[in-house]
Each structure stands twice: as structure tokens, then as C-alpha cells.
Amino acid sequence: MALKRKDLLGLRGLTREEIEEILTTAEKMKSILLSDVKKVSHLQGKSMVTLFYENSTRTRFSFEFAAKYLGAHTASVAVSSSSVAKGESLIDTGKTIQSMGVDVIVIRHPMSGAPHLLAKHVLASVINAGDGINEHPTQALLDMFTMKQKKGAIDGLKVAIIGDILHSRVARSNIWGLTTMGAEVRVAGPPTLMPPDIEKMGAKVFYRVEEAIRGADVVMGLRLQRERQQKGLLPSLREYMHLFGITEERIRLAKKDALIMHPGPVNRGVEISSDLVDGAQSVINEQVTNGVAIRMALLYLLTRRNHDAVH
């Protein structure tokens, strides 16, 4: 098992076979993650650096734990106290990291396309941990892994993604990945937060949340990306919850056993009711666990392009 590509920059263009290979490998990685001794030597002698130009809890730490559980060396560049703060460019920063013998660079950046630029200039594998409003491929992979584990298959699922679609890299990666895997993707949110080209990606657009949720197998809330929003795109937060929030009443329109998902961090009572976050249908904490398994799988597959299969 191995991915033939050097980098994981997005789910756009990834084949169904590649996604299946990642999800199958993540199943094996999850059993390591859930074992008493979380330490194997699959990545012995390899090294990974996280380079985050934006804040993160889940993505950054799950990459660090994933690499450590597999036996790799890890380091984290604190952008604010590194030479980036002295004006060093992204390409120069990447080349500097690579010159220290690094095999994988995991990057989060506010500019769409930054990981693609870095990948062109370094021999190390580059993994996109979120670039602007473009993609967050490892989040969508962990979301799909969670759906597969809970529902048995992704093909044929009806997935409703609710909220700030315009600024959501999570929504875009999920649309690319889920449609490739045969799911029906519905998106709903305020018209001011709905990108005009979203239907071309294969999603069905709804402006009433109730219609998107009706009969859904999965309901996924999104964080309001207030740091990327211009003023005037939203009414008050209270009005937003009233019109577009995921509430107990709206969830009753979905299938009885529908999963409630959210990439986090959650604004409780704004995007989704606090009780639903902690309720029986919520798999939000499991998404976090699965994020470590997916990142273990990706690190393994990208660094083993010429090696044997995982046992």
C-alpha cells in the first residue's frame, strides 16, 4: 500500500481508489491508536514538521500525535517566533526546513494555494492542513472515515452541510470527496454565504435548512468563519441560529439514526444547539479520534512510496 503522489494538497482530483486506500489504511491505524501501547516503528527514521500560519488545536496536535505513534521525529514551527516574523518567504522557509532532512511538511496557511506553491519547491511531501477557503483535505477524509465506520458505506448517503459554505474549506473538500465516493451532498445556509459556483462542484443548493436536512443520513454543521467574513454578510448571531442553526426541531426531519457532525471548533448555540453537540447522535469527539487515524494513514502512505504494505 502506498500513494503514488508526493503530496496531499486536496481531494479535488483524488480517485475513488486512492480515497478507499486511505480509509482502509486508517482502519488499521485506528487499531494501533486504540491499543495500550501506541508506538510502532512504521515511520522510524522519518521526520515531520508542522508549519501553521493559522491557529489550530485538532489538526496540528493530531498530526503530531500521529507521527509520534508511528515512530517519527517531529517538530513544530511556531510561526510568530520563527524567522517568518522577520520576513522570510514561504518558499525559503520550506527549503530551510527541508535542508534539515525533513520528509513531510504539514502546512496551514490563510492563502488558498499556499501548500501547492510550497510543494513545487521542495522534495519533501507536503500535506495541506487547510489553505484559505480552498481545501482542508484531511478534515474531509476523517469525516468520510467517520461516516464509513458508522454507516458501513459512503455510497448513497445523503449528507447535509449547513452554514457558512462560502468561507468553508471543509465544505469544499467534503464536496469533492463525498461526490467522488457516490454520496449526495446538500448544502444550505444564508444566500450571502453561498458561493455561486457550488452547484458546479456537484452539490445541491438549498436556502431553507429544513429542506436540506429532510431525510439526511448525516447533518454536518460548519463554524462561522468570522475571521474571513466581510461585515454585513450576516444578521445578528441570534437571528442566524433562528434561521440557519441546527436545532433539535430541525434534526427531527433527518433520518432517525442520522449522524451529527462538526469539524470544530464549535460555537455552541450559534451554528448548532449545545445539547445536540453532546447528544446521542453526535460523533464530534469520534471525528477527533478518527483524525489521528487518518493522519497516521496519510503519513504512512506518503512516506512509503517504495515500501511494503502495512501489516
Name which of residues 126 to 165 contact ligand CP (CB under 6 A): 130, 139
**C-alpha grid cell for residue 179?**
461526490
Question: In terms of CB distance, is 42 or 290 closer to ligand CP?
Answer: 290
Residue 76, by phi and psi: left (phi above 0), alpha (psi -120 to 50) or beta?
A: beta
Residues forming a β-bridge with 246: 272
Stretch that binds ligand CP, among 18-26, 50-58, 248-256, 296-304 (CB under 6 A): 50-58
* Stretch in the footprint of ligand CP (CB under 6 A) among 37-45, 207-215, 260-268, 270-278: 260-268
* Least CB distance to ligand CP at residue 100 (A): 24
In the complex, the smallest distance separating the C-beta of residue 305 from ligand CP, rounded to whole angstroms, is: 26
Of residues 55 and 83, the one with the C-beta less far from ligand CP: 55
Rule CB under 6 A: say whether 221 interacts with ligand CP.
no
| Contacting range for ligand CP; rule: CB under 6 A; set: 172-180, 182-190, 214-222, 261-269 | 261-269
Give the Cα separation of 297 and 311 in Å (integer): 12
Distance CA 56, CA 66 (A): 15
Minimum CB distance to ligand CP smaller for 96 or for 149? 149
59 contributes a contact to ligand CP by CB under 6 A: yes
In the complex, minimum distance from the CB of residue 122 to ligand CP, in angstroms, rounded to a whole number: 22
CA distance 189 to 195: 10
Question: Site residues for ligand CP, window 63-102 (CB under 6 A)?
Answer: none
- CA neighbor of 112 nearest in space, from 127, 90, 130, 124: 130
Contacts with 307 (C-beta within 8 Å, 6 or more apart), sequence order? 2
Give the closest residue to 115 by CA, choosing from 59, 35, 64.
Answer: 59
Span of 56-64, 84-92, 200-208, 297-305 interacting with ligand CP by CB under 6 A: 56-64
H runs (alpha helix) in the chain: 16-33, 58-69, 90-98, 114-121, 137-151, 169-180, 209-213, 237-244, 248-251, 274-278, 284-303
Query: d(Cα 280, Cα 262) in Å, to the nearest integer?
Result: 14
Please state the closest distance from residue 129 (CB atom) to ligand CP, in A. 7
Q: For ligand CP, which residue of 58, 109, 167, 172 counts as binding (CB under 6 A)?
A: 58
Cβ 175 vs Cβ 201: under 8 Å: yes
Vertex 140, ends 256 and 169: CA angle to 5°?
115
Alpha-carbon gap, residue 92 to 170, rounded angstroms: 28
CB of 30 or CB of 58, closer to ligand CP: 58
What's the rounded Cα separation, in Å, for the pair 114 and 9?
10
Q: How far is the CB of 142 from ligand CP (least distance, A)?
A: 9
CB of 130 to ligand CP, least distance (A): 6
Total chain residues near ligand CP (CB under 6 A)? 9
Q: Is 190 in the site for ligand CP (CB under 6 A)?
A: no
Grid coordinates standing for 218? 448525516
Find the binder of ligand CP among 94, 137, 245, 264 (CB under 6 A): 264
Pick the binder of ligand CP from 263, 267, 284, 297 (CB under 6 A). Answer: 263
Smallest distance from ligand CP to CB 221, Å: 12
Q: Which residues bind ligand CP (CB under 6 A)?
A: 56-59, 130, 139, 263-265
